[in-house]
Chain A
Amino acid sequence: MSIGKQGIDTVAKSAATLAKSARIEILNMTSLAKASHVASSLSVIDLLAVLYSGIANVTPDNHEKADRDIVILSKGHAAAAIYSVLALKKFFDSSWLNNYCGDGAQLGGHVTSTGVPGVELSTGSLGHGLPYGLGIAISRKLTKSPGNIFIIMSDGECDEGTTWESALIANHYNLNNLCVIIDRNRIQSLDYTESTIALEPFIDKWRSFGWDVIEVDGHNYLSLAESMSEKSSKPKCIIANTVKGKGVDFMENTVLWHYKSPNDEELSSAISQVEKN
């Protein structure tokens, strides 16, 4: 899609507002539920905020229509991020967020599609989103149907073999309706990505598989909107450099906050930081 400079400015402005509200929801949700993955959600939230502020053609009104754009959050552990965005965009009632991970809740700690409007695929086991989205992209190519497919992955997820299988297949079938966006926060479950299973030179890897690769600041709404709306003749990979825990200084760039949930004191400190930004 091409939305012009003015369109990009509008998207970036809405995304900033959306991301700020979503960050507060994420902090509240993970604190209340004593849930993990707050930092993963804070790193990916700006990508989601831009997508849902006018880049991806998916709304509460068209999310069941065949020609909608598809957004799949393959890093399903950042459930709080996508749920807060979908609630703020009114895909479902925001009261659902209050019972996140609770008994009988609609919303659990990993992304679940059943009964949750706007969620395309249940994820949580890494490496599933890309092959699935690839299938949708191929099907639309075969039937010459419109619409883009956006897959948001974590960098640690790229350890999965399906990532590279699918990277081969997408190139072979020339799926330029497919866009992978990688939340490159450089931290995975136990350590930094480069100390775990090194991904660098990351851009070269994707490029050598035949993809268009764009590297951007994953917290810059304008750059994100530009990269996502840029047309490509190939499958596209946006490597969005992010900071795990972005927006809350004591959560930023630490492995600990992959797991820990904020207590009351940490919560109020975190929220005041987000509000000031």
Chain B
Amino acid sequence: MRNTFIQTLLENAKKDPNIIFVTGDLGFGVIEDFQKQLPNQFINAGVSEQSMMGMAAGIASTGKRVFVYSIGNFPTLRCLEQIRNDVCLMNNSVVIVSVGAGYSYGSQGYTHHALEDIAVMRALPNMNIYIPADAVESKSLTNYLCKDKNPSYLRLGKSGEPTLSNNSRGVIDNKIIDIKNGDDGTILFVGPIGKRALLAAEILHKMNIGVSVASVPFATEIDLDYLRFAAAKGPIITLEEHSKRGGFGSIILESLHQLDVTYKLKIIASTQQNLSEIGSQDYLQIKNSLDEKSIVDAFNSIR
């Protein structure tokens, strides 16, 4: 997913000299190609996220499309006010790219877990949030963001995430993308954790329950028509590798609230019970009840 992003960005940047890549001294083994091929569109700002973000906004103010790249919480929480004032308030054309969503850096400890970023970024004005589920969506979103001008946040996993579906998935407007169809309910997810939604759907299928599994790569404004249909169909589960407080589940809940419909909803997200828990991404997903068994149990509890 990370490599797909960089390669897609490089292809676009070769054609468009106004695309500038700024890194906060991260991306070893990933960004060298870009640096070598387009040295005049590449800046390493060093380990200084606040200045990096202000600088990115300043570069954007000269008519550039600036991609700011770092990992985890560094390009979001560490420089939040620079994003708020210099990017969002000034409406500068900056794309914040954070690698290592959720528990991607699980074994590196809580400082490296990105679990509050969606909640924080969605509170900002003029900010659009994009969360690809796999390399296919990562590519189409990156292509889109190279042409777009708005302040944006691209939340990436790390590497090696499975491709959830090989179907070409152009990310259009605010559409929710069905990966699998079913008549009895819906699992909505953001990011690579969608693989667990698909596993849950298989388990449910064995119980003769058919659920749709859908990716929501554009998490800023939700497709309300899709949501109305899903609410009428059956239970809705939301799944994210993020804190329960103010994350994707909250976005869906708020969106449902806008609709005059009855619905059954369960939010599956991290409750952040044990902040010091160390382990692989898989281990921490299970520890935080983000696994397929938890999804199935949640679904059955409101069926």
B-contacting residues of A (Cβ < 8 Å)? 66, 113-114, 120-122, 125, 127-128, 130-140, 142-143, 145, 161-162, 165-166, 168-169, 172-173
Contacts and interface: CB of A to CB of B under 8 A. Distances in A.
A104 to B, nearest CB: 19
Contacts of A133: 58
A165 B43 contact: no
B54 A131 contact: yes
Interface string B14-53: 0000001000000000000000000011010110101111
A134 B51 contact: yes
Given A135-B55, A135-B57, A139-B62, A121 B90 contact: yes
Contacts of B52: 131
B82 interface: yes
B59 interface: yes
A168 B46 contact: yes
Contacts of B64: 139
B63 A132 contact: no
A127 to B, nearest CB: 8
In this complex, the member of B43, B61, B81 whose beta carbon has the largest number of chain A beta carbons within 10 angstroms is B61
A130 B53 CA distance: 11
Q: Is the interface of A mostly helix, strand, loop or mixed?
A: helix
Contacts of A128: 54, 81-82, 85-86
18 contacts: A66-B62, A113-B90, A122-B89, A128-B81, A128-B85, A128-B86, A131-B51, A131-B58, A133-B58, A135-B55, A135-B61, A142-B41, A162-B48, A162-B51, A165-B48, A168-B48, A169-B51, A172-B46
A113 B58 CA distance: 14
B193 interface: no
B14 to A, nearest CB: 16
A131 B82 contact: yes
Contact of A131 (B20, B40, B41, B55): B55
A211 B89 CA distance: 31
Nearest to B47: A165
Contacts of B40: 142
Interface in B74-112: 81-82, 85-86, 89-90
A113 B133 CA distance: 38
Nearest to B91: A114
B177 interface: no
Contacts of A66: 62-63
Given A122-B90, A162-B54, A132 B46 contact: no
Contact of A138 (B46, B48, B59, B90): B59
B58 A166 contact: no
B268 interface: no
B53 A165 contact: no
Contacts of A137: 58
B141 interface: no
A142 B39 CA distance: 9
A125 B81 contact: yes
Nearest to B58: A135
A211 to B, nearest CB: 15
B25 to A, nearest CB: 11
Nearest to B50: A162
B54 A138 contact: no
B63 to A, nearest CB: 7
Contact of A166 (B51, B62, B81, B86): B51
Contacts of A173: 43
A169 B45 CA distance: 7
Contacts of A142: 20, 40-41
Nearest to A172: B46
A135 B89 contact: no
Nearest to B52: A131
B56 interface: yes
Contacts of A166: 48, 51, 54-55
Nearest to A121: B90
B151 to A, nearest CB: 14
A194 B1 CA distance: 51
In this complex, the member of A127, A134, A135, A166 whose beta carbon has the largest number of chain B beta carbons within 10 angstroms is A135
